[in-house]
Copies of this chain bind each other. A is one copy, B any other.
Amino acid sequence: MSKASPSTPLPQIRSTADFARHVGLARTTVSRVLNGQPGLKAKTIERVQAAMEATGFTPNAYALHLKGKRTATIGICMEDLLTPPAVRKLAALQRLLRERNYASLIEVLDPGESRRVVRHFLSMRVDAVVFIGHFIPEEIAQRLTELNAHGTPHLIIDHAGIEGANTVSLDRASGMVAVIDHLVSLGHKNFGLLALGGTARTVQERLQGVHAALARHQLDFDACTHSRDHLHVRTSDFEYGRALALIFAAEKKHPTAYIARNDEIGVGALHGFQAAGLRVPQDVSVTGFNNQDICAMTTPGLTSVDQQVAITAETAAELILSQLNQPLRRKPWVRTIEPQLIIRGSTGPARR
């Protein structure tokens, strides 16, 4: 069993002044060592470093910043911490920033809270603010105006289409093109759309991709797609996907391929079809979106579209860091990430 010895409070050293006295050097000299300035004897450096070890003295970051040092802190606003792909992006980005010695100040942005959060970030003089997820566009636009006024750079990850915003987002249309191309190559000509309804921008983008891909294959969207999205409040995507699958399965002439809004709905649909006695992929094919871990947890595995989290985070880190210590650009950066289709057992040749 490991033991943490309680207190034994050393003679409290709270400032460089205390510390300098303790080491027996001038405050100036200590400061020089701390900042790695030249012209110091090796012995002095050692002496100071040993004393830092022994006392655990850490200079006050607040005083440092006040003297003009960057805070080396990036503010990150999360839509929430419960959406796995968003958290994976956060994790990857945080790691990259940390490697460059930037700390992350992370806040969750409940609707209506953005003003308070951005104020806090500004008062903390963060070097930049990153938003990850999807937000209320008008609210974020206002925040960007404030950040611009303060000369604080920003970046939005995921939420595309806010004018003037620096953005890194997934090419969702392209992801759907890959799905359709894959399914068409397997001989599918009739497609069930699972929960791809509503006016959400991300869904619209994806439907545009479906449209475009079908057109390229000389297929007519209206004739060959069948959309089901009857519920508007859902407690569980999984249950909803299952319910939608059961509805389709009960129809005499149903599509051979199903495209789900996300992996949860795809997994639910897969179970639904199997429960209805249909074999996947012999009777019907199913695809998801996001390529979460759960895609590997079904039998067969769920074909899905990967968001390329690592590339997204690298692009984001590059964009953030390139904006630091630069004047604000008038023309925003807009970067698009190409998703990747991950083919698993849930998609196969169309039944004839």
Contacts and interface: CB of A to CB of B under 8 A. Distances in A.
Interface residues of A, number: 80
A10 B267 CA distance: 52
Nearest to A330: B6
Given A60-B66, A91-B80, A297-B271, A328 B7 contact: yes
A143 B275 CA distance: 53
Contacts of A91: 80-82, 108
A297 B294 contact: yes
A9 B149 contact: yes
A21 interface: no
Interface stretch (A118-126, A176-184, A215-223): A118-126
Nearest to A136: B2
Interface stretch (A97-105, A190-198, A315-323): A97-105
Contact of A148 (B7, B80, B299): B7
Interface in A106-153: 106-108, 119-120, 122-125, 137-138, 140-146, 148-151
11 contacts: A2-B138, A2-B140, A3-B163, A7-B149, A60-B125, A62-B65, A80-B91, A94-B106, A94-B108, A105-B105, A236-B296
Interface of A: 1-10, 12, 56, 58-66, 71, 80-82, 84, 87-88, 90-91, 94-95, 98, 103-108, 119-120, 122-125, 137-138, 140-146, 148-151, 161-165, 236, 238-239, 264, 267-268, 271, 274-275, 293-294, 296-299, 328, 330
Across the A-B interface, the 10 shortest Cβ-Cβ residue pairs: A4-B144, A81-B91, A2-B141, A2-B137, A4-B164, A62-B62, A58-B123, A3-B163, A61-B123, A58-B122
